């Protein structure tokens, strides 16, 4: 009898990193895993290894386990021991990366690069501050003087310096959009001076901290107390802060952060990049002074690294920033708060495609910390968790600015057309726009989805002009150029239809540009500002447009979804929503949720000040439930209807979904590989009763000449999907010479 011993004797090797930094994750060393340790060594484990010439004991982390030696095994050293229950920021980072790899599918190296900060040696830079020279009153008079001369940037800065004796230079340039030359001119005029950090520290002790101007409401106080108590107790209780727009959620986050800091722990606050406006950032500076680190994408790598160092060295205990701020190296995380948690931007689009919400729960578990999800329109995921008791529900039901919820009306554009109204605005909206202009109040016009409406089609045969590389319709811009919004391809408008030759090949005119034009025709005296991806292309202009609308330099702001996100314009008393139903037609199971969110958030922009607000929703589908519930500001009603639909089709959160995306320059190759993957996983699919959709070409079949084929798996539980992914990964490893790229997306936010 021949006994095959090879299975039992196979040696296991571990790729280990000994220097935990972003730069060295590609540099691993292979060690033998002694058989007596094999059971205890996992990807992410901390181990002791002999290192270097003297074989000094060194701590390392396991990034990969394999039975393939990378070099001569007889010369390889062995792992000495496994370090159990390793703690600290490094161990957290490795553990989080290992979790990401497992959950979302990527290499350990890609996952580590996501969670570790990039080191960039920066020349010691002096921290600069802009300080006002005179008194607050003098600054106010200077502001008026500059305003009269239409020197907006100067006026903007001086206005802020009425309230604050000094401002960080970065804040002034990046968020207030006042450049260095302007500051220099003001310096010459004797209005301000620039100081470097050292001088600043002795001259002006710190940015003056201002206490809250108002007491917290009872609801706010209770919500904050519940969370702070849980954090102090280290209970690991998690919360959903469901507060209508304008109910003061930001104030609650700050109160929680303050109490958490007082109890000796640290707070992470995630905010969508787009909401990190000057106003928001300033509120945090005022409250936490230098103890807060603000991270945003406009920071240079060096600045970002500095922020991480400050956190690591205990110089900051509150961090606020977008998704990636989650990876701030804090030793004592007490609370992680996610504002506008329903925002799709919390899901990463790069590998690993993690969702910040799930990563936050994972990280919190290492510290017995609490997670707070905040939103006026919670994601179905969050509300479902609250229903199941996995999140404690905290409600904020009142608006605190004195304003009431706006009065919402829905106008049916089909009826308007029947009445002979061919303009972009319903009669009601036109009348209200005029009324606001007369009263000197501000209005916002929100056009649902840019691009989608700008396509050019033939009125005779229906032919649509498409990008030759991306298979999406081209958008017509001023001057008649046709542009692809995926790849930037441009061409001139054709003189006739390429298919039938008809002259009537025209743009479907409903971009923000056309809205602006229509407003100007209706109200020639109105000052109109427009904000969309075109007008904000320059890095600076986004905040600039917002600041100038805030300062009442315009009467009407026209824009896409960009204008609806969390901005507080007290003077806005009218919001018009055009083409409310356009986003319902998107080919995506979240279309109903997106539409409801957008409409609710947009409506919430009205009446944030003392005066009541009015909202007009224009639509061709007034009977759709997303529109009906948004008009009624009825989240619960919407949730009931939407969750029933998700349950029925087993879409998240009533199940999980794994997308396998195959990319290739050859369409057939992509389709073939997708089919092969499907065939390979068939036994598992049968055994675990997984639902399969596809493979099929993606909705947008190709982008930049790369074809995209997608396969979806659905199941109530995660586990079978993880097994399917592993099986696919094994299969792909066998076919390592392939040219196609395969990416995984667990619970995708967008179906491609
Ligand atoms: P949300 O994030 O819930 O939409 P914000 O936190 O932006 O709301 O607050 C909306 C407005 O209410 C802000 O102008 C804020 O200054 C104000 N506010 C917050 N809390 C209070 C309070 N307790 N009393 C009075 N005004 C408040
Ligand atoms: Zn035609
Ligand atoms: Zn293109």
**Between 695 and 302, the higher pLDDT residue:** 695
Q: Ligand 2 mean position to 703 CA, how many Å?
A: 25
- Among 284, 309, 327, residue whose Cα is nearest residue 171: 284
Q: Whose CA is nearest to atom 19 of ligand 1?
A: 248
Q: What pLDDT shows up at residue 6?
A: 44
Judge whether residue 65 has pLDDT over 80: yes
Query: Which of 289-293, 481-485, 675-679 ranks highest by mean pLDDT?
Result: 675-679
For 340-407, where are the alpha helices, taking DSSP H only? 356-367, 380-387
Mean pLDDT across the stretch 439-462?
74
Is 216 touching ligand 1 by the criterion CB < 6 Å? yes
Q: How confident is the model at residue 510 (pLDDT cuts 50, 70, 90)?
A: low
pLDDT: which is higher, 669 or 273: 669
Question: Is ligand 1 within 6 A of the CB of residue 217?
Answer: yes
- Average pLDDT score over the chain: 85
Q: What torsion, rounded to 10 degrees, do the Cα atoms 271, 369, 266, 239 define?
A: 40
Q: Give the three-class secondary structure for 1.
A: coil
389: left (phi over 0), alpha (psi -120 to 50) or beta: left
| 3 band by pLDDT with thresholds 50, 70 and 90 | very low
**Per-residue model confidence (pLDDT) at position 7:** 46
- Tokens standing for 605? 């922009």
Ligand 1 centroid from CA 550, angstroms = 16
What percent of the chain stands above pLDDT 70? 89
- Name the residue with higher pLDDT: 401 or 714: 714
Among 417-426, 474-483, 695-704, which stretch is predicted with the lowest mean pLDDT?
474-483
Ligand nearest to the CA of 491: 3
* Residues 460-489: tens digit of each pLDDT: 776 778 878 766 678 777 677 887 766 668
Strands in 488-580 per DSSP E: 490-491, 505-507, 528-531, 556-559, 572-578
C-alpha 496 – ligand 2 centre gap (Å)? 8
Task: Calculate how far, in angstroms, residue 484's C-alpha sits from the geometric centre of ligand 2.
Answer: 20
Query: What tokens does 583 get?
Result: 């986003």
pLDDT the model gives residue 564? 74
Q: What angle do CA 575, 243, 625 make, to 5 degrees?
A: 60
From 401, 566, 600, mutation site for ligand 1 pocket: most ligand atoms within 8 A of C-beta: 401
- pLDDT given at position 199: 36
Ramachandran category for residue 345: left, alpha or beta (phi over 0 → left; psi -120 to 50 → alpha): alpha
Q: Averaged over 147-175, what is the pLDDT?
A: 86
Least confident range from 101-110, 138-147, 501-510, 626-635: namely: 501-510
648 in contact with ligand 1, CB cutoff 6 A: no
What does the buried/exposed string (b/e) look like for 363-372 if buried means 16 or more CB atoms within 10 Å of the residue's CB? Answer: bbeebebbbb
Average pLDDT of the residues in 543-563: 85
Predicted confidence at residue 579, as pLDDT, reads 77
Q: What is the mean pLDDT of residues 265-288?
A: 86
Q: Is the CB of 220 under 6 A from ligand 1?
A: yes
Q: Which residues contact 258 (CB under 8 A, 6 or more apart)?
A: 287, 288
720-743 average pLDDT score: 89
Residue 705's region, left for phi above 0, alpha for psi from -120 to 50, else beta, is left
At residue 419 the predicted structure's pLDDT band, cuts being 50, 70 and 90, is confident
Structure confidence at residue 586 (pLDDT) = 58
- Pocket of ligand 1 contains residue 163 by CB under 6 Å: no
Q: How sure is the predictor about 675, in pLDDT bands with cuts at 50, 70 and 90?
A: very high
Measured from the CA of 396, which atom of ligand 1 is nearest?
A: 3
- The per-residue pLDDT for 403 is 64
123 has pLDDT over 70:
no
- pLDDT by residue (tens digit) across 109-118? 889 889 987 7
Pick left, alpha or beta for residue 243 (phi over 0 → left; psi -120 to 50 → alpha; otherwise beta): beta
Q: In the predicted model, is pLDDT for residue 201 greater than 60?
A: no
Give dist(CA 396, CA 251) in Å, integer: 12
- Residue 249, ligand 1, Cβ within 6 A: yes
List residues, by chain if needed, whose CB lies under 5 Å from ion ligand 2.
458, 460-461, 463, 497, 499-500, 502
State the residue for tokens 């061409």.
Answer: 491
Asked if residue 248 has its Cβ within 6 Å of ligand 1, the reply is yes
Read off the pLDDT of each residue in 343-347 and give the average, rounded to a whole number: 91
Distance 704 CA to ligand 3 centre (A): 6
Q: How far apart are CA 293 and CA 326, in angstroms?
A: 12
Cα separation, 744 vs 47, in Å, equals: 30
CA–CA separation, 248 and 360 (whole Å): 23
433, 509, 602 from 575: Cα distances, Å: 9, 21, 7
Asked if residue 246 has its Cβ within 6 Å of ligand 1, the reply is: yes
| For residue 200, pLDDT beyond 50 | no
How many Cα atoms within 13 Å fall on the side-chain side of residue 26? 1
* Smallest-distance ligand from the CA of 451: 3
Ligand 1, residue 339: give the atom nearest the CA: 2
State how far the Cα of 255 lies from the Cα of 221, in Å rounded to an integer.
8
Residue spans of alpha helices (H) in 149-274: 152-163, 169-170, 180-188, 197-203, 218-233, 249-262
User: Rounded CA gap, 442 and 748, in Å?
Assistant: 38
**Which residue, among 623, 639, 619, has the nearest Cα to 379 in the 3D structure?**
639
Token pair of 586, please?
């998107």
Contact between residue 38 and residue 55 where contact means Cβ atoms under 8 Å apart: no
Kindly tell me if the per-residue pLDDT of 356 is higher than 90.
yes
Distance (Å, rounded) from C-alpha 26 to C-alpha 211? 48
Is the model more confident about 268 or about 421?
A: 268
Q: Which residue has the tokens 């109200």?
A: 523
- pLDDT, tens digit, 9 for 90 and up, residues 54-64: 888 888 889 88
Is the pLDDT at 208 greater than 60, yes or no? Answer: no
Point out the least confidently predicted range of 13-22, 451-460, 539-548: 451-460
Kindly tell me if the per-residue pLDDT of 418 is higher than 60.
yes
Pick the ligand that lies closest to the CA of residue 496: 2
Which residues are paired to 443 by β-bridges? Answer: 556, 574
Residues ≥6 apart with Cβ < 8 Å to 276:
294, 296, 320, 321, 322
- pLDDT value at position 281? 82
Substitution site in 248, 405, 567, 609 for ligand 1 pocket (most atoms within 8 Å of beta carbon) = 248
| Mean pLDDT calculated for residue range 377-393 | 96
Closest CA to 342 of 385, 383, 399: 383
Q: Six-digit token pair at 101?
A: 């790899």
Does residue 575 or residue 502 have the better pLDDT? 575
Is residue 282 in contact with ligand 1, taking CB distance under 6 Å?
no
CA of 503 to the centre of ligand 2 (A): 8
Taking the CA of residue 220 as reference, the ligand 1 atom at the shortest distance is 23
| pLDDT over threshold 50, residue 451 | no
697 is written with which tokens?
């070409």
Q: pLDDT: is 210 or 653 the higher one?
A: 653
pLDDT at 659 over 50: yes
Q: With a 6 A CB cut-off, is 251 part of the ligand 1 pocket?
A: yes
Q: Give the integer Cα–Cα distance in Å for 59 and 48.
A: 5
pTM given for the model? 0.81
């Amino acid at each position: 009898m021949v006994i095959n011993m090879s299975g039992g004797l196979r040696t296991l090797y571990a790729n280990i990193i000994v220097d935990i930094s972003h730069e060295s994750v590609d540099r691993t060393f292979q060690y033998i895993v002694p058989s007596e340790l094999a059971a205890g060594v996992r990807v992410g484990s901390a181990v002791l290894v002999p290192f270097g010439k003297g074989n000094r004991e060194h701590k390392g982390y396991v990034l990969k386990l394999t039975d393939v030696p990378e070099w001569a095994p007889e010369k390889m050293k062995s792992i000495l021991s496994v370090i159990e229950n390793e703690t600290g920021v490094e161990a957290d980072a490795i553990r989080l990366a290992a979790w990401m790899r497992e959950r979302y599918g990527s290499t350990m190296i890609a996952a580590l690069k996501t969670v570790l900060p990039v080191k960039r040696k920066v020349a010691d830079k002096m921290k600069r501050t802009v300080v006002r020279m005179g008194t607050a009153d003098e600054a106010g008079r200077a502001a008026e003087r500059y305003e009269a001369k239409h020197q907006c940037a100067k006026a903007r800065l001086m206005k802020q310096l009425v309230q604050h004796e000094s401002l960080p230079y970065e804040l002034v340039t990046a968020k207030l959009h006042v450049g260095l030359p302007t500051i220099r001119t003001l310096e010459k005029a004797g209005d301000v001076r620039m100081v470097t950090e050292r001088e600043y520290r002795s001259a002006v002790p710190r940015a003056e901290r201002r206490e809250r101007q108002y007491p917290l409401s009872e609801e706010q106080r209770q919500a904050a107390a519940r969370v702070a108590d849980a954090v102090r107790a280290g209970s690991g209780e998690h919360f959903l802060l469901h507060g209508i727009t304008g109910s003061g959620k930001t104030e609650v986050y700050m109160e929680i952060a303050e109490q958490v800091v007082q109890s000796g722990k640290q707070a992470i606050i995630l905010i969508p990049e787009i909401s990190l406006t000057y106003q928001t950032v300033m509120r945090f500076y005022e409250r936490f002074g230098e103890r807060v680190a603000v991270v945003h994408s406009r920071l240079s790598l060096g600045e970002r690294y500095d922020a991480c160092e400050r956190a690591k060295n205990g110089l900051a205990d509150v961090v606020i920033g977008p998704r990636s701020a989650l990876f701030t190296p804090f030793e004592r995380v007490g609370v992680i708060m996610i504002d506008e948690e329903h925002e799709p931007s919390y899901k990463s689009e790069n590998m690993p495609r993690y969702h910040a919400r799930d990563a936050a729960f994972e990280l919190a578990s290492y510290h017995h910390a609490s997670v707070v999800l905040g939103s006026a329109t919670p994601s179905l995921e969050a509300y479902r968790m609250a229903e199941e008791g996995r999140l404690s529900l905290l409600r904020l039901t009142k608006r605190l600015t004195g304003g009431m919820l706006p009065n919402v009306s829905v106008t049916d554009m089909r009826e308007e057309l029947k009445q002979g109204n061919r303009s972009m605005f319903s009669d009601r909206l036109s009348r209200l726009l005029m009324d606001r202009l007369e009263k000197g109040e501000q209005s916002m016009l929100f056009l649902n989805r840019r691009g989608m409406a700008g396509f050019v089609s033939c009125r005779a045969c229906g032919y649509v002009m498409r990008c030759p590389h991306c298979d999406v319709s081209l958008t017509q811009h001023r001057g008649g150029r046709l542009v692809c919004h995926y790849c930037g391809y441009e061409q001139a408008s054709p003189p006739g239809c390429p298919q039938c030759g008809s002259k009537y090949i025209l743009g479907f005119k409903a971009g923000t540009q056309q809205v602006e034009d229509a407003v100007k025709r209706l109200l020639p005296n109105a000052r109109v500002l427009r904000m969309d991806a075109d007008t904000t292309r320059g890095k600076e202009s986004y905040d600039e447009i917002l600041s100038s609308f805030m300062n009442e330099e315009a009467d009407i702001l026209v824009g896409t979804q960009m204008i609806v996100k969390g901005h507080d314009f007290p003077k806005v008393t009218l919001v018009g929503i055009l083409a409310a139903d356009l986003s319902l037609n998107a080919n995506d199971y979240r279309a109903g949720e997106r539409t409801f969110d957008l409409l609710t958030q947009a409506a919430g922009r009205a009446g944030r000040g003392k005066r009541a607000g009015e909202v007009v929703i224009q639509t061709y589908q007034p009977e759709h439930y997303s529109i009906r519930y948004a008009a009624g500001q009825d989240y619960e009603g919407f949730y009931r209807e939407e969750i029933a639909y998700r349950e029925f089709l087993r879409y998240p959160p009533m199940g999980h979904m794994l997308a396998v995306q195959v990319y290739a320059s050859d369409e057939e190759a992509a389709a073939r590989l997708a089919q092969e993957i499907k065939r390979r996983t068939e036994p598992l699919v049968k055994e675990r009763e997984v639902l399969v959709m596809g493979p099929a070409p993606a909705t947008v079949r190709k982008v930049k000449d790369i074809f995209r084929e997608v396969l979806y798996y659905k199941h109530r539980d995660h586990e079978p999907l993880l097994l399917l992914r592993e099986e696919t990964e094994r299969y792909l490893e066998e076919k390592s010479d392939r040219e196609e790229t395969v990416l995984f997306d667990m619970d995708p936010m967008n179906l491609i």
